[in-house]
Amino acid sequence: MEDLGPVAWPPAPIRTERLVLREPETRDRPVFVELHASPEVHSFLGGPRPRAELEREMPEAPGKWPGSFVVERDGDMIGQVLLRRATEHRRPAAAGKVDLGYLFLPRAWGLGYAAEACTAALGWLADVLPGEPVVLTTQTANTASMRLAAKLGFTEVERFEAWDAEQWLGIRAPA
């Protein structure tokens, strides 16, 4: 995966009904550690990383690259939405396309925040890189993620085996 390349970055903070999407800042570091050390968050993502390793190795301002949004609710980071270029995706249908990823803290699940934030990020993408389809890969066992993908308008391209699990590759046509 690579970042989105030459897009105007960072954008002005994007405001939705309940959330703000913005560039990561140094004050987000503890939440990034929490996100990546959480066994719940990484149930379908190959397992969490050890907290001590994250504390040691996480950059001062993690995730600071074009297409990496921190999602904030009432001033607190609750998750991350990632738009990257899947330059070396293992499935030819996805290679080179923009790829959507999302990670939210368990306390922010089940409230529609991920859907609200991803919709806003996809809207931003349609403005800065019009006409681009977006792909998404998730484990089929990750039912919350599968529901979110459908809600966002992704449709199935194929299922495939990787990382010891069945994966779902979806695509969303440009608006």
Ligand X SMILES: CC(C)(COP(=O)(O)OP(=O)(O)OC[C@H]1O[C@@H](n2cnc3c(N)ncnc32)[C@H](O)[C@@H]1OP(=O)(O)O)[C@@H](O)C(=O)NCCC(=O)NCCS
> Taking CB under 6 A as the rule, which mask of x and - marks residues 24-63 in contact with ligand X?
-----------------x--xx------------------
Say if residues 170 and 98 touch (Cβ distance below 8 Å).
no
Q: Which is nearer to ligand X, 30 or 110 (CB)?
A: 110
Please report whether residue 115 would count as binding ligand X according to CB under 6 A. yes
Strand, helix or coil for residue 126: helix
User: How far apart are alpha carbons 28 and 33 in whole angstroms?
Assistant: 9
Residue of the chain from 1, 93, 95, 111 that contacts ligand X (CB under 6 A): 111
Stretch in the footprint of ligand X (CB under 6 A) among 48-56, 59-67, 96-104, 125-133 = 96-104
Amino acid at 122: L
User: How far apart are alpha carbons 104 and 118 in whole angstroms?
Assistant: 11
Residue of the chain from 7, 103, 128, 157 that contacts ligand X (CB under 6 A): 103
Residue of the chain from 102, 124, 154, 168 that contacts ligand X (CB under 6 A): 102
Amino acid at 1: M
Say if residues 121 and 100 touch (Cβ distance below 8 Å).
yes
Please report whether residue 147 would count as binding ligand X according to CB under 6 A. yes
In the complex, the smallest distance separating the C-beta of residue 175 from ligand X, rounded to whole angstroms, is 19
Say if residues 158 and 91 touch (Cβ distance below 8 Å).
yes
Hey, what are 60's tokens? Answer: 């001062």
Q: Which residues bind ligand X (CB under 6 A)?
A: 41, 44-45, 101-104, 109-115, 138, 142, 144-145, 147-148, 151
